[in-house]
A and B are shown apart, each in its own frame.
Chain A
Amino acid sequence: MAGPPGAVIRTHALTKYYGTARGIVDVDLEVHAAETFGFLGQNGAGKSTTIRLLLDLIRPTSGSAEVLGLDAHRDRLAIDRRVAYLPGELALYGDLTGTQTLEYLGNLRGRPDRAYRAELVARLELDPSRPIKSLSRGNKQKVGLVAAFQDRPELLILDEPTSGLDPFVQLEFERLAGEARSDGRTVFISSHILPEVERMCDRVGIIREGRLVAVESIATLKARAVQRLEIDFAGPVDAAAFAGVENVREVSLTDGTLRCTVVGSVDGLLKRAAAREVVRIRTIETSLEEIFLAYYGEGEGEGAGHAAA
């Protein structure tokens, strides 16, 4: 693999404004070789802008980007021979069938491996004989996934790859991404779904309002994960008994139900609760916003310190 080892994607103060509208601001991103990197952020946070800058589809206002050690703009052709991209809003040629689409795109890269393509088509249970215009969103997405994987690229850049996929296909996709990683290839996945990123990725970068606010290993992220819990007690309890418990925040108590937020381990809370009669525990799925709040809620400013992590 060419380029400096360890940096498959590297951006320096990458900034993009659309007129006066903010795209991304001062993004310093580094993705290592052979890792699966999750790029997490809400819609409009700047995920697609970053990706389209990496692919030279749009040009930065300032800053620069390198892919595989090559300049994203100047060396685009050399990069595109080795990188596959699945756009967030995938559009294909409606009049071509799946097979024709995959043949055409494979030819553009110049080294179609039809046997491997057939294997991918079978694994994703895609019917490649139908014209693209007759396919559902999920089936079209399968064509895009086969197109991205069929050339066995060194780097896969996948923008919201699982949108529209049913659970079976999603699982198969996660296996494919896992195999790519085992082969030593790098996978860059953007997503707004935290559990998906947790399952697949080694590290995650969080982008918020155009700025990269944190880059963490999944293990660190999990340690800092925010959970919201509701505990119903049989008898009367005192909210004060739970204030000050390790990792527990935002405690409230109504009608024997305790509501609180836990950052990191829930051990302290459970041990304190166990002294009383617990009827039921509910966990409420953590939203991205809460993860961001966890980052911001500790007085770490803009979180720039995490970006270099």
Chain B
Amino acid sequence: MLLRSLFGKTLRDLRWPTFWAGAAVFLLAFYFTYAFPTYSSAFNLQELLDKIPPAMKALIGGQLMDVSTVNGFLNIELFPFMLPAILGGYAIAQGSGLTAGEESRGTIDVLLSYPVSRRSLVVQKAVAATLAVIVVAVAVWLGAVLGAGASNSAVDAGDIAAGLVLATLLALDVGALALAIAGWRGNRSGAAGIAAAVLVVSYFINALAPLIDTIDSIKQVSIFYWYLEGDPLRHGLALGDAAVLAAVAVVLFAAALVLFDRRNLAA
């Protein structure tokens, strides 16, 4: 029974959004890997890619230009921007609403008159939302692997998982940022907007780094840099990169705990 605890109630709130988001990304990933052989033979993708000017190339996936395999194809089509936008967007949508949603609906008054500490509230809700983001990431993996199987394409499922682990951590970074801002100000849309802006700016810093020296010198501030620099879809999980992204999430989450704990809650 999900109504036994705040954690269960949060899972209950997340079940349908997560189901639909998961179903959508499953189909998307399935489509890409299932259609890969068709793309590959219909167009000479490698030849097309080699003709793209470097500036354009940077924006759609850096120097990772190898479309002879499913992993290389996903490395260009799905992982550089679409996947982080979807996973990050989902994490932002949930993270921004965990506390601020209860505040704007006014249910926070009732909820916090029960013996649930504010920190426990943030922990229980954030753990539930993290599980929801992981479910969506797993749906991507299933879609990609099953789609490749259906089209008899060779796929390195382990490296796709590595890419998804990093993408999930990246999503948790912006989700935790949204949670922290919402906990600090109580304003859901403002928190979501700022976190989304950070996601987009991060993307551009990393994408433009190879082209512009000044940006290249600061690329380490971009979470996209840590997400993509190890080329996880071809070289597997770089633990150092994962550790950086995880540390960012932990710090932002800790900030969310402190900021929400201190606030005067909206009436």
Contact = CB atoms under 8 A, between A and B. Distances in A.
Interface in A106-135: 107-110
B114 A109 contact: yes
Contacts, number: 72
Interface string B95-136: 000000000011111111111110000000000000000000
B265 interface: yes
Contacts of A170: none
A80 interface: yes
Interface stretch (A87-95, A190-198, A237-245, A282-290): A87-95
Interface centre among B3, B106, B262, B265 (most CB of A within 10 A): B3
A184 B106 CA distance: 31
B185 to A, nearest CB: 14
B107 A55 contact: no
Given A58-B265, A91-B105, A104-B9, A85 B110 contact: yes
Nearest to A102: B3
A21 interface: no
Nearest to B109: A87
A91 B3 contact: no
Contacts of B267: 48, 52, 58, 89
B100 to A, nearest CB: 14
A55 B267 CA distance: 12
A55 B113 CA distance: 7
Interface string B125-164: 0000000000000000000000000000000000000000
A105 interface: yes
Contact of A105 (B108, B109, B110, B264): B110
B113 A89 contact: no
Contacts of B114: 80, 105, 108-109
Contacts of A57: 108-109, 112-113, 264-265
Interface in A133-151: 144, 147
Given A52-B267, A58-B264, A59-B264, A77 B4 contact: no
Nearest to B104: A91
Given A57-B112, A109-B115, A92 B107 contact: yes
A81 B106 CA distance: 21
Nearest to B9: A104
Nearest to B264: A58
A80 B98 CA distance: 21
Nearest to A61: B264
A58 B108 CA distance: 12
A307 interface: no
B225 to A, nearest CB: 40
Nearest to A79: B115
A143 to B, nearest CB: 10
B116 A91 contact: no
Interface in A158-175: none
A77 B117 contact: yes
A18 B264 CA distance: 9
A21 B78 CA distance: 52
Interface in A164-212: none
Given A80-B114, A108-B115, A110-B115, A91 B109 contact: yes
Given A56-B112, A57-B109, A107-B4, 8 more contacts: A52-B109, A77-B117, A85-B109, A87-B109, A91-B105, A92-B107, A92-B110, A108-B115
Interface of B: 3-6, 9, 105-117, 262, 264-265, 267
Interface of A: 18, 48, 52, 55-59, 76-78, 80-81, 83-85, 87, 89-93, 96, 100, 103-105, 107-110, 144, 147
- The 8 A-B pairs at the shortest CB distance, nearest first, are namely A91-B106, A85-B113, A108-B114, A104-B3, A58-B264, A80-B115, A87-B109, A81-B115
26 contacts: A18-B264, A52-B109, A52-B267, A55-B112, A56-B112, A57-B109, A57-B113, A57-B265, A58-B265, A58-B267, A59-B264, A76-B117, A80-B113, A85-B109, A87-B106, A87-B113, A89-B106, A91-B107, A93-B107, A96-B3, A105-B114, A107-B4, A108-B111, A108-B115, A109-B114, A144-B110
